[in-house]
Structure 1
């Protein structure tokens, strides 16, 4: 599994209705994308839920590298690049994934943090796995995942929620649409 995200930081006075309309128009195009576990179409608006910026920042969890590459090089990503310019795409290797009791994704929380320099790497990633389990067990959680970028030694924690009071720390986003063609095929638990 691979996690992926890009962020389009928009002007403070940007009409987020443009993004909402775009997602309403094209969000369904990934509803059956081969190799995709899920894509959460995320926005956050400056001044709402503590956000300092307005952003469009979709988050993906891929079942296969082939599916991710088909999206990036085979046309799915091109439309966004044509409309907004080509953003930097962050990628992480999955450490853990769990599903929770929730049924409808309305909000997401993403937290990026450095892997501690001191201590054992195994302890740091086991802590991330435990956090995934904790988040997924919370009331209203749909899913939780953790992944690592070893080029930056950065952990990312991601969770989807039914409500806007999640028991997770990080940047909060509104979910406009969830394409989840391979959600049931994402392997649960620790990934090594």
Structure 2
């Protein structure tokens, strides 16, 4: 599993209806994308759920590198780049993935928590903690799914979870889910990724 996200931070007075309309218009294009586990089309709005910014920030869980590369180099990503400029694309290697009790339900909210992997810690123990936290989050009431991944270039751990209700049981940046494409969610490997 590979995780990926880019963020488009928008002006404070930006009409986020433009993003909502865009997702309604093109969101379905990834509903059957080969190699994609799931893509959550995410939006934060300034002053909502504690967000300091307006931000469009889709989050992806990929089953295959080929699917991810096809998205990035095959033209789909070019449309976004043409409209908004080319954003930096963050990538993380999968550590853990679990489905929650409401998997298959429409996700309303996503939570992303990024944290540094501290210097001097035993990496195996740190990643085992991430696996346990993924399991815990997926076991919470209202959880659709939970994942953890690490960027070894920055030594950053990201935890990502989707929720069917507006009050998630996770800490981090809260996003509204505008659309979900999940053609290969059932093929994402469960549990620990090594």
Q: TM-score, normalised by structure 1?
A: 0.99
Q: Distance in 1 between matches of 2:66 and 2:121?
A: 35
Q: Runs of 4 or more off by more than 3 Å in structure 1?
A: none
Which residue in the other structure is 1:86 paired with? 86
Which residue in the other structure is 1:172 paired with? 174
Which residue in the other structure is 1:139 paired with? 141
Corresponding residue to 2:113 among 111, 114, 118: 111
> Shift in Å at residue 118 of structure 1?
2.1
Q: Distance in 1 between matches of 2:119 and 2:162?
A: 29
1:91 partner SS: strand
Which residue in the other structure is 1:14 paired with? 14
Q: Deviations over 1:55-75 (max 9, x none)?
A: 000000000000000000001
Q: Deviations over 1:5-37 (max 9, x none)?
A: 000000000000000000000000000000000
> Shift in Å at residue 104 of structure 1?
1.8
> Shift in Å at residue 164 of structure 1?
1.5
> Shift in Å at residue 165 of structure 1?
1.1
Residue segments in structure 1 that go unaligned for 5+ positions in a row: none
Say whether residues 1:149 and 2:151 are aligned partners: yes
Say whether residues 1:31 and 2:2 are aligned partners: no
> Shift in Å at residue 119 of structure 1?
1.9
Alignment RMSD, CA only? 0.5
Q: Distance in 2 between matches of 1:60 and 1:12?
A: 25
Which residue in the other structure is 1:54 paired with? 54
Q: Distance in 2 between matches of 1:116 and 1:129?
A: 17
Q: Distance in 2 between matches of 1:29 and 1:93?
A: 25
Q: Distance in 2 between matches of 1:123 and 1:117?
A: 13
